[in-house]
Chains A and B, each alone.
Chain A
Amino acid sequence: MSATSTANAPAFVAKTKGGRITDFVDQRVGGSGILREFGRKVFPDHWSFMFGEVALYSFVILLLSGTFLTFFFDPSMAETHYDGSYTPLKNVEMSVAYSSSLDISFDVRGGLFMRQVHHWAALLFVASVSVHMLRVFFTGAFRKPRELNWVVGGVLLILSMAAGFTGYSLPDDLLSGNGLRIIDGVIKSIPVIGTYISFFLFGGEFPGTVIISRLYMLHILLVPALILLMIVIHLFMVVVHKHTQYPGPGRNDGNVVGYPLGPVYAAKAGGFFFIVFGVIALMAAFFTINPIWNYGPYDPSPVSAGTQPDWYIGWVDGALRLMPGVIGDFHFEYVIFGQVLTLNVLLPALVPAGLVFTILFMYPWIERWITKDDREHHVLDRPRNAPTRTAIGMAGFTFYCVMWAAASSDLIATHFHVALNDVTYWLRALFFIGPVIAFIVTKRVALALQRKDREIALHGRETGRIVRLPHGEFIEVHAPLDDYKRYKLVGFESPVPLPAVPNEHGVVTRKEKRRAALSRWFFEDRVAPASPAELEAAHGHHGQHEAVESAEGQKTLSH
């Protein structure tokens, strides 16, 4: 059928040379169809939607600068004596990997710039992935139908940390070498197979002679390939789902409001790539990152004060620091049936990270189960309108930040002139009570903000103008909101707790009771959006001074 219709249609003949080439390609790949589908696709516009793009663009910049670096870097751990131009290391014994990293920094034109671009872009990459995930969490963008994309995002976060860590170790300097030493210690604490894994990873005893080239392969091939694969899946799903949007007038779960891809959105997104590149270039121009020449070559004997990993591994390092090895007389290193269980390493290395990632991956399903909400959500929640979720998020964030801060406990001590030990004691306490405080405070703040919204929706915005009424009363004039602004404040759902429901056999299961209890915990404290009837009543209730403002309101409405 389609064959006949093409045969009957008058053949299209392009007039220009460019047109002929485009037509040639189009007839073979069907670009017209793709353009028709996507050329005017609508994307909502909000600054907080851009972090995913920051991550994507940093990744592109990482690929570009990383490719340059591979042309000069040599991942060999063979011994050599440095003969480059940095005199404080002249003739020092070091590995070829470290020596070639120094050459990139001092003897390859633009090499230092590329190294700094690469490292700053890496820090920004993981940071933007993290902020993007925080945005998605706090606005509820992980809800149906986007649960799987949330999981892909979580995998990308882990992969980005893996990419960062494998890269951090490559220069084979003292700092990263001690980082590997810590990794080795953590691996050895794994019961039964830890020693074997360590020997397999390092090709024998630590440090061996192969770890850098193995990490190099992971860093430039395996991990980036996986990241690329995940990005493709991630973006494919974004196309399938279309983007979410913030609540507001004209926006609902059935539509998407924004700018068409071509030209506005494409121009902004394309231009933004150059902006991200420019910002990274500025950082690389003026701010040193990872000054490997300061640290010297890796050697198991020396160590530098302030030995920390890059920021994204910091929280795990911080957990290692917070864990006490001995409490009273109890030693966390523990001999059981003649074998050693190193709980003082194993617990902090696995438990907090395991907890954070398990909850992170499962959260969409946890909330779905509690709320029994199976509808698609394309309109986001403002964080204040989901107080319990926001509070959970802040509790998790605080938990992370306490460990994160612990990774710099020594610098906190020196820079604020407090005792190192006290910093650790405080952070140990905060590790447990910090998330609880954050939960309570955030929930109260969110509810208070909702009340403020409600107040504004019903009584208008405070103008700061004080008026004295004829009978002597002073009032502040409140300016009523227009319909659009008001809808932004009232157009949200406020679910109520769902009581336990009997199943098909008429039995309320224990699981269902638990769900109902969680649902109560989730939704019992709530501020309902203002309703038209309340607005009506509010106007009546305030009688006198409403007259003043409604007179003004009339004026604004009349033109």
Chain B
Amino acid sequence: MRRLLFLLPLAIFAALAVWLYAGLGGDPARIPSPLVGRPAPAFAVNGLATGDLEGPALVNIFASWCVPCRAEHPLLAHLAEEEGVVIYGIAYKDKPGNTNAFLAELGNPFRKVGYDEDGRAGVEWGVTGVPETFVLDAEGVVVLKHTGPLTPDAVRRDLLPALGR
């Protein structure tokens, strides 16, 4: 019995190593979301709640303090203005003042913006980092999750097909 106790560290480490190996294969920017295939999660923050979401649409998690969000912003603006895509924004762990300044500076591509100051909505959406973009279909079911800043390539290859275009 006591010998088993000394084996415990090795056993824990072995389990850990297997997990780490399993994590290696995937591209970290494509963390599969348990949300895919399910309806949008229930959340309600200042400015936006689950009931406001009308698919097909994008839900973009962003923050004024996040540099990649700034980088993807022109692409969101393009999608909203030129392609007529409906986009909802959730400002993750951001002060409303900062969010508004960010949107005033770069333009507001969002139909509605939710102010998720303490990151509660981020929990419901399973956010691992900003920016992240979810695609909702016409029934409001999450069909795709994109982690990291959007690129023209990802929009053409993944997002637009997922929106049914």
A is bound by B: no
